[in-house]
Each structure stands twice: as structure tokens, then as C-alpha cells.
Amino acid sequence: MKQNIVISENLERSLVVAISECQHDRVFVLTDETTKRLCWPKLSSMRCMQEVTLITIPATDTNKNLESLALVWDALSKGGATRHSLLINLGGGMVTDLGGFAAATFKRGIDFINIPTTLLAMVDASVGGKTGVNFNGLKNEIGVFADARFVIISTLFLDTLDMPNLCSGYAEMLKHGLINDERMWAELVGFSFHNPDFVQLQRMVGESIAVKERIVQLDPHEKGLRKALNLGHTIGHAIESFAMEQGRPMLHGYAVAYGLVGELYLSVCKTAFPVDRLRQTARFIREAYGTPAITCDDYPKLLELMKHDKKNTSGIINFSLLANIGDVKLNQTASEEEIKEALDFIREG
């Protein structure tokens, strides 16, 4: 079943249509503490939201775990949810990932709708059917592929975001530009965060989602082409997991941005990616995201985390690299020495 992605001009009208097309003897809305405070007020007065049961879990990625998942299952069960009930996930990637997994597994699967409220969730987490939770210190270690019936994208929520969260989502858009084409990449590296144009950003969000949607439709279960979406993520996830272990969690998009710098460096070394494109992209990322707090002493741990990546086979670290903008080379490998050089390049700043 293809999920319907709606770029909404009128959130209430879009919600009414989406709910009417889903099974819904009862409707539940999942938020975290942050989205309940900032985003739920934009929906709570709508007529279609008057009979819903609200479920709220603790915020931040550190709570994307089995404990929060059990809390959602428990609330659905106590709220009288059946196989014909509907869960609406209102929040960032943490909420859409965990809520999607809860819906996909409760009573062997109930319908769910995603309403992403962060730029990151709009262009990444809520589209493509990946759901899951973190486990044993590893990102998204447990999960299933399950499509939301509807994903409703409304830029109404962008004004609730601070600059770091805006930047976090933008990193995934930058990745989509790199794997898509020169025109899209050039517009993305030319965008100003000092004076953001939200009309331009809304159009770019639509284009970004279209890139991901096209790739996911061609390869829904990540057997081949969909691995292109992993650009920046092998190194990025390791940096993100390391930061979480250190007790200083990092926004996902910042880790991806650093991963893009490292993996474009590897692309220059391994697949002849143009050096000037690396320099331009790295300059944009360093100005917007700075550099991560890692040292040479952290490299063994980072390499260990990369070896746990789900894309690997037989313990060999796998990368999606670029020969040029829009020209993705899948299943590339690099030596530990080359990876350490890439980490050096990320830290140079």
C-alpha cells in the first residue's frame, strides 16, 4: 500500500480527509512532552480532534526506547484500542519512528498517520516506512518497515523550531540534493540561515521529499538503490551514537552533516568525486554546523560503532559514496586508515 504524502495548505481539511480514509473506531494522538506543548495547540481546537485520546511520552532521542514503546502499547490497550483504531503521530522523527513501530505491532498492526513537526521528520523520518527504537546504545536497532497511511506535511510547524533544529533537518535536504542533481545541490549550499526565506524553504522541502519518495518507491526494503539515502550516515550514526554514550546527545542532522563531510572526503579518495564540490559543501557545513567534539583518541570507538551499522556485511564497513553530484556508488569500502583520514578532515574545521 503506497502511503499518501500530502503537502498541506490547510491542516484541518487534510486531517479530516486522512482520518475518513483510515479505520478509526477510536483515534489516539501520540506526542512527546515538547510537541504537546508547542504543536498540539495548533490541532486541539479542530472539530476532528475533539474525541481523541492523547498519549504523551518523554521527549528527546534518549527516550526512543522499549520503555516508551511499552508506555504507548499500554495506553492503547487501556484506552480500548482495537485492530480498527487509528494512531496519529504528531512530532519529530523520534515520535514518528516510535509511534509507527507501536502501531505496526499493536494487535499485529493498526492504521497510523504521521504529522511531522520538525524539518528533519518532514524530509526524512516520516517518509519511507522505517520505524523503530534504539536498543543497547545503538540507533534504530529494533524496528520494522511499515508505511503510514498518510503523511501530512504542514509548514505551520516550522515556526516552533529553533535554529539548531532547523539546521538538523536541513542536513538531510542537503544529502538529497547531493544524490539528486547539481541544480538542487547548488540552491541548498546557497541558502542563508542568517535570514531564512520560509517560502523558498517550503518549496525546497517539497522537492526534498520528492527525491526520497522516488527512491523509496523503487526500493522499499533497502535491497539496492535506497542505500543511496545512507550517504553521510555510516560515519554520521557513529558520531551520533558516540555523543549519546558520552552523555551529550547530538541532533541527528548535525551528525549527518559531519558524516557528509567525511564521506565526501572518502568519495574524493575512492570514487573521484570533484574536490571543488567537496570544498564548497564542507565550507557550508562548517559555517552552519561547526565541527564535532571528537579527538584521535575516539577513533577506535567510532570505528567499532561503524562496524555495527545495519548496512554492513560480514563486519566490513559499507559506504554509499558519490562519483559526482547525482552519481551514487553503493557498497563501497574503505580501510581503517582512510576512515581515520576522513575523521581528521571532519575535525579540521
> Is residue 111 very low, low, confident or very high in pLDDT (cuts 50, 70, 90)?
very high
Using the structure block, give the residue that is written with the C-alpha cell 523520518: 125
Query: In whole angstroms, what is the distance from residue 131 CA to residue 149 CA?
Result: 14
> Is residue 222 very low, low, confident or very high in pLDDT (cuts 50, 70, 90)?
confident
Query: In whole angstroms, what is the distance from residue 109 CA to residue 101 CA?
Result: 9
- The residue-averaged pLDDT of 318-340 equals 96
What's the pLDDT tens digit per position in 36-62? 999 999 999 999 999 999 999 999 989
Query: In whole angstroms, what is the distance from residue 160 CA to residue 59 CA?
Result: 15
205: cell is 522541502
267: cell is 568519495
Residue-level pLDDT at 241: 93
Cβ-contact 340, 299 below 8 angstroms: yes
- Residue 314, pLDDT above cutoff 80: no
The residue length of the chain stands at: 349
Sequence-ordered list of residues with C-beta below 8 angstroms from that of 186, at least 6 positions apart, any chain: none
Cβ-contact 293, 308 below 8 angstroms: no
Q: Are strands 86-91 and 27-32 parallel, antiparallel or unpaired?
A: parallel
51: cell is 474525541
Average pLDDT of every residue of the chain: 94
Residue-level pLDDT at 349: 64
CB burial of residue 225 (10 Å; 0-12, 13-18, 19+): middle
Amino acid at 314: S
Query: In whole angstroms, what is the distance from residue 58 CA to residue 203 CA?
Result: 32
Residue-level pLDDT at 270: 97
pTM given for the model = 0.86
Which stretch of DSSP H or E encloses residue 262? helix 252-271
- The residue-averaged pLDDT of 11-19 equals 97
149: cell is 497511511
What's the pLDDT tens digit per position in 277-312? 999 999 999 999 999 999 999 999 999 999 987 667
- The residue-averaged pLDDT of 241-262 equals 95
What's the pLDDT tens digit per position in 148-203? 999 999 988 988 889 999 999 999 999 999 999 999 999 999 999 888 888 889 89
65: cell is 526506547
Residue-level pLDDT at 33: 98
Number of H helices, E strands in the chain: 13, 10
Using the structure block, give the residue that is written with the C-alpha cell 472539530: 47
β-pair partners for 265: none
Residue-level pLDDT at 315: 74
Residue-level pLDDT at 256: 98
Query: In whole angstroms, what is the distance from residue 293 CA to residue 271 CA?
Result: 28
| Between 125 and 323, residue with greater pLDDT | 323
Choose among 104, 108, 118: nearest CA to 31: 118
Cβ-contact 236, 256 below 8 angstroms: yes
